[in-house]
Each structure stands twice: as structure tokens, then as C-alpha cells.
Amino acid sequence: MHLKLGWLYPTLMGTYGDRGNVICLEKRAQWRDITVEIIKLDQDAALETWSEVDLIVGGGAQDRQQEIVMRDLQGAKAEKFKALIEADVPGVFTCGSPQLLGKYYEPAVGQRIDGLGILDLVSKHPGFEAQRCIGNVAFEITANPLAENLAKKLGYKAVALGFENHGGRTYLGDVQPLGKVLTGYGNNGEDGWEGAFYKQAIATYAHGPLLPKNPFIADWLLEKALERKYQEEIIFSPLDDQLAVQARKTMFNRLNLSELNNSA
């Protein structure tokens, strides 16, 4: 089997280490003898390149870079990106990426950045004098069918761990939150929700990177991408994730969530 992994503007949207999500997906596929081709979806990518991808990863960025990306992600490219998400191409989008998948992002300074309108959400940066949302985050995944799929595979409710670093606050419209905040800020530090989930696209503020900290999400993305591409059910055998399990237990203890160690 073979997967084409699209990486959104890796140079501009790589500020917060989310390339780790690309590496995690690539290795977890290769460890299962699935070949992976990484395709940069950036200013130089031809439109037909976008059509080929089976899975998309988008990382975080500073406001300035987000504005540059949106100047390029217009017209046919924007329409193609929307069509991919609507056609159930799985993806994981972190922080600055989901802000651009929403209706708009109002940065700390400068004009409102119109988004792609794929996700029914808006994001607003309250200004540099406001507390920045920085720190560890833990959240119970509640969005379906993702939560149901993960609970069936894991045998318990999935809890995701990550690290936040954002000034923007996100407010959801008619779209599922990805999860319920257990500790940390989440979308805005007010409504208790983290991220968003639409079709097979995961939007989150959790860097870390997200996927090495939560390998079950990486496997979900890979399985869904392969199922969609090969039109057959894909059920992975587990990998040896003992290092991730130990790291998760350490974080649950550090965050006073040791009762979740069975979710490690």
C-alpha cells in the first residue's frame, strides 16, 4: 500500500514543531510496510498535486505567516482544498491551520484574514496585552465518529495530551468540538471546548507534536486514509508504543490527572 501525505506550507506553517506529526505518520505507516510520499502543498505546488493527496497535515504559524499563506491559498487552490475535506480526505490541522480553515482570523495587529470557510468557526486575537494561551493541555475526545472509533479500539474514552501556544481565541459555530478540556485553555479558555472536528478533519490547538503524544490518533488518520483510498476496511495491528505510554503516564501524573493513567 502507498500513501501520499500532503503537508500544508511546511516552511511558512512550521513554527511550533508540528512537522513531528508528519514524521509520526510517515514512520507509523512505514513500520507497517506502507510506503509514504510527502508532498509539499505550498506556493510552488501545482493544482493537480493537491488532487493526489490521501492525507493532509497543517501546522501552526505566527500571524504574519498566516497572512502570507492566505494570500496564496485562494481561488482554485482554495476550492480544491475544500473539495478534499468535503470528500473525506483525513487531516490534522494545528492552531494556525484551523484558524485559516475557519471563516476568518483577526490577528493581533493588521486586517482580518478571511479563511476558507471549511470549518464553521471564527478566531480572534485579543491583542498583545492579553494573556497568551501557553501550557500543557489535556482533553477528552468527544467528537464522533472519532471518539467512538477510538473508544472501540482502545477500550476506554480517548484523552489527548498536547502543548498550546496561541494568542488567538476560537469560537465554534455549527461544528463539533474535538474535545472537552480537562486542563489547559482549549479554544478560548472560556467555553471548555478544544478544537473542532468536521468530516475526517481534526482541528486542534494541541502542539506537542500531537500525534507522537497520542499515537492512536495517528493510526486513526492512517486507517481512514487507506480505507478511503483502497475502499476496504483497515484495522492495524498495534505497534510497541511503550515509550508513548510512559510519557503519557508521566504527563497525567504531572497534570494531576493520574486517574487517567489507564488512558495512557
Entry field: residues in the chain = 264
Integer Cα distance of 22 and 58 in angstroms: 9
Nearest approach, Cβ of residue 55 and ligand GLN (Å): 20
Nearest approach, Cβ of residue 56 and ligand GLN (Å): 16
Among the listed ranges 2-10, 21-29, 67-75, 161-169, the one in contact with ligand GLN (CB under 6 A) is 161-169
Residue 7 lies near ligand GLN (rule: CB under 6 A): no
Judged by CB under 6 A, the number of residues near ligand GLN is 14
Binding mask 165-184 for ligand GLN (x = CB under 6 A): xxxx----------------
Q: Tell me: cis bond preceding 177? Omega within 30 of 0 counts.
A: no
Nearest approach, Cβ of residue 66 and ligand GLN (Å): 6
- Which residues between 209 and 238 bind ligand GLN (CB under 6 A)? none
Nearest approach, Cβ of residue 147 and ligand GLN (Å): 24
Q: Is 251 helix (H, G, I), strand (E, B) or coil?
A: helix
The DSSP letter of residue 162 is E
C-beta of 62 vs 149, nearer to ligand GLN: 62
Query: How many Å separate Cα 189 from the centre of its chain?
Result: 19
Among the listed ranges 141-149, 162-170, 215-223, 241-249, the one in contact with ligand GLN (CB under 6 A) is 162-170
Q: Which of 161, 187, 177, 11 is nearest to 99 (CA)?
A: 187
Nearest approach, Cβ of residue 72 and ligand GLN (Å): 17
Query: What is the gyration radius of the CA atoms in the chain, in angstroms?
Result: 17
The DSSP letter of residue 207 is B
Active site (annotated) includes residue 166: no
Binding mask 90-129 for ligand GLN (x = CB under 6 A): -----xx--x-------------------------x----
Burial of 237: CB neighbours in 10 Å, binned 0-12, 13-18, 19+: exposed
Catalytic residue among 24, 95, 125, 133: 95
Residue pair 16/95 in contact (Cβ under 8 Å)? The answer is yes
Integer Cα distance of 172 and 163 in angstroms: 20
C-beta of 165 vs 183, nearer to ligand GLN: 165
Give ∠ CA 141-146-150 in degrees, rounded to 5.
80
Active site (annotated) includes residue 207: yes
- Which residues between 31 and 70 bind ligand GLN (CB under 6 A)? 60-63, 66
Integer Cα distance of 245 and 232 in angstroms: 30
Active-site amino acid positions: 95, 207
Q: Interface with ligand GLN by CB under 6 A: which residues?
A: 16, 60-63, 66, 95-96, 99, 125, 165-168
